[in-house]
Amino acid sequence: MTAQQAASPRVRATWRIPLVTASLVAACLGCAGPSRAVVESPPPGAAVGTAASTTTAATCADTVFDAMTEPQRIGQLFMGGIAAAQPDRSQIRVLQENHVGSVFLAGRSTAGTAATRNLVDGLQAGADTVAGRPVRLLVATDQEGGQVQVLSGPGFSKIPRALVQGTWSPDVLRSRAQQWAGELKSAGVDLNLAPVADVVPASLGTANAPIGRYGRQFGFTPATVTVHSDAFLKGSAQAGVLATLKHFPGLGRVTGNTDTTAGVTDTETGTGSASIEPFRSGIKAGAPFVMVSLATYSKIDPHHQAVFSTPVIQGMLRTTLGFKGVVISDDLGNAVAVKAVPPGNRAVDFLKAGGDLVLTVNPSLVPTMANAVRTRTAQDEAFARHVDQSVHRILSAKAQEGLLSCG
């Protein structure tokens, strides 16, 4: 518990043990706190709601934001990893103590939809309460298909790799994606970190370590990837699950894998490259989330990795492509690509560049990251305003998913 929480008479902690296998510790914090003047942020994306519903979501987000303490707001900026098969109780406690607003189900689980829902319900029991109302967790996972499918077992389909999905008609893929997203919804998962919108040239193929090696791409041309990533997005939206275009501005032209390799650089992709088209089309279609890669793009910003690059996030993604939704980082916890950057700097630099939601598969880094963000917020008013806008975007996405209660 932070000093601010302990000092506030409006904050109380109620600990209980939800009835789930992992014996999760749950914390409820009823609180309210002062707010800063902010610039109202646009809704996350047309694919997840009508104009009326997004307006209502934004209003609800405003209400919740105004009632939050500063630590609670900062906690909304983080997504921490939790093992989908055997959650670690101490890691869950770290996330709860830091008011982390989103969790990522990582690893592999063959438990099926019912058991996963039981786990998620236990996690949700520990979500913060603001002004007497729950602010439910945004629960995410990786459910692309092929070797990248976290959740399986009874109730979950076996999803083929994207290279196979790309041989189907867009209508068939949209229907299948709706089915897969429905399975996630039944398991309590709100956000899928898919589809992959990266274009791997046929000449590179499996030599592309992060994508081509595993057949994670829908095809080898921008046209094929565009129509199929759009179909995946539409199917997900029809099932009420948020989807994520990744890994902007594309990992199709690199050889190194940022998860396991430092200094991965794309020397070909520029602001006008055809490989950007799947992202452009998906954003136009209303993609609610976009994930930014950890590679460096020498023709766009040779001095910063994309995840820390203002030209990539604010310039290309926000201004040129007009993306108004939630910008999420690739893993800033365990990825070798960012190991040389201190954890606190990873979070601050991503947010400073225009990002919204810090993903760390390693939840033990959250306290350091959150403290760094809190310190920078107190010192830099422009940074503080951006943080508030990011929290609004995340809360708006939650409201559209029914994870906030304002009625």
Mean pLDDT to the nearest integer, 255-271: 98
Domain count, the chain: 1
Indicate whether 38 belongs to any domain.
no
Query: How much is the pLDDT for 58?
Result: 82
Is the bond preceding residue 247 a cis peptide, omega within 30 degrees? yes
Query: How much is the pLDDT for 41?
Result: 36
Give residue 57's pLDDT band: very low, low, confident or very high (50, 70, 90). confident
Give residue 243's pLDDT band: very low, low, confident or very high (50, 70, 90). very high
The domain that holds 396 is classified in CATH as 3.20.20.300
Specify whether the backbone of 11 is left (phi greater than 0), alpha (psi in -120 to 50) or beta.
beta
Query: How much is the pLDDT for 187?
Result: 98
Domain of residue 154 covers: 58-127+136-400
Residue 259 and residue 210 in contact, taking contact as beta carbons nearer than 8 Å: yes
Indicate whether 378 belongs to any domain.
yes
User: What is the rounded distance in angstroms from the CA atom of residue 110 to the CA atom of residue 116?
Assistant: 9
Query: How much is the pLDDT for 173?
Result: 98
Residues 6+ apart with CB under 8 A from 50: none
Indicate whether 76 belongs to any domain.
yes
Rounded to the nearest integer, the mean pLDDT of the chain is 89
Query: How much is the pLDDT for 54?
Result: 61
Query: Tens of pLDDT along 317-364?
Result: 999 999 999 999 999 999 999 999 999 999 999 999 999 999 999 999
Indicate whether 49 belongs to any domain.
no
Indicate whether 157 belongs to any domain.
yes
Please state, as a whole number, how many other Cβ atoms lie within 10 Å of the Cβ of residue 368: 16
Indicate whether 120 belongs to any domain.
yes
Residues in the chain: 407
Query: Tens of pLDDT along 58-79?
Result: 889 999 999 999 999 999 999 9
Indicate whether 31 belongs to any domain.
no
Residue 193: is its pLDDT beyond 90? yes
Please report, rounded to a whole number, the percentage of residues in the chain having pLDDT higher than 90. 84
Indicate whether 86 belongs to any domain.
yes
Residue 30: is its pLDDT beyond 50? no
